[in-house]
């Protein structure tokens, strides 16, 4: 049996091993094949994001369309860069309404050495919240990105990740429309907040489980469990 395949449209982070580099690592760990589509090229160092360069939206769109036509089982979206890229992705996804899509809505890096460097600029963010959110299966904002929740009302499902919170327990909360909130709670891993790329890995893991045919709830639960185990075991250090 062939492994499940996932397409990832995200930023490349060769120096710090997040973005597409972490996406490939996470997919491989879960026995999936990943089609990598670079939306932005980043340059980062120990102080954080230094520079982000957007790739042409036409190339992003053609690569994503080709991956979908070849039968990937799910799509993971990460840093998209700008409005043109967001709208190009939305246009392609409209032709494949049955394919699950997971969006890790990264707008800025957790740490940045250059205040003018963004993973998704303001116009891109407006386009994403207006046009992309209604199309995705799941968005995975952290507590800071989620805010008061009003901006996410157009999204079918949202997994709010709690790693940026405080206290001895971490709670990730799955919101699905008007249904009850499903909470995944576990002990905080010491030093976990310093691990680069956990958000990338989580969204990719969810996409992998969706590509394998699991339900959204099961995919989110299993992916959260995998990330916590990888943090506990030090598996992230093997990237």
pLDDT above 60 for 115: no
pLDDT digits (tens, 9 = 90+) for 162-189: 876 767 888 999 999 888 999 999 898 8
Q: Among 101, 204, 210, which Cα is nearest to 156's?
A: 101
As a whole number, mean pLDDT of residues 97-112 equals 84
More confident residue, 239 or 112: 239
């Amino acid at each position: 049996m062939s492994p499940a395949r996932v397409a990832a449209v995200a930023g490349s982070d060769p120096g710090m091993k997040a973005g597409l580099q972490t996406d490939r690592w996470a997919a491989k760990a879960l026995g999936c094949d990943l089609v990598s589509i670079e939306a932005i090229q980043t340059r980062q160092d120990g102080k954080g994001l230094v520079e982000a360069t957007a790739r042409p939206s036409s190339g992003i769109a053609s690569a994503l369309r080709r991956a979908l036509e070849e039968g990937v089982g799910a799509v993971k979206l990460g840093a998209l860069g700008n409005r043109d890229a967001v709208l190009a992705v939305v246009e392609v996804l409209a032709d494949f309404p049955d394919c699950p899509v997971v969006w890790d809505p990264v707008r800025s890096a957790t740490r940045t050495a250059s205040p003018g460097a963004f993973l998704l600029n303001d116009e891109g963010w407006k386009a994403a919240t207006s046009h992309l959110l209604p199309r995705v299966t799941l968005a995975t904002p952290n507590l800071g990105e989620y805010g008061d929740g009003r901006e996410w009302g157009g999204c079918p499902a949202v997994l709010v990740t709690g790693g940026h919170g405080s206290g001895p327990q971490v709670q990730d909360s799955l919101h699905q429309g008007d249904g009850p909130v499903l909470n995944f709670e576990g002990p905080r891993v010491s030093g976990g907040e310093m691990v680069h790329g956990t958000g990338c890995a989580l969204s990719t893991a969810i996409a992998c489980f969706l590509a394998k045919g699991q339900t959204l709830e099961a995919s989110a639960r299993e992916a959260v469990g995998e990330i916590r185990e990888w943090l506990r075991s030090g598996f992230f250090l093997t990237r």
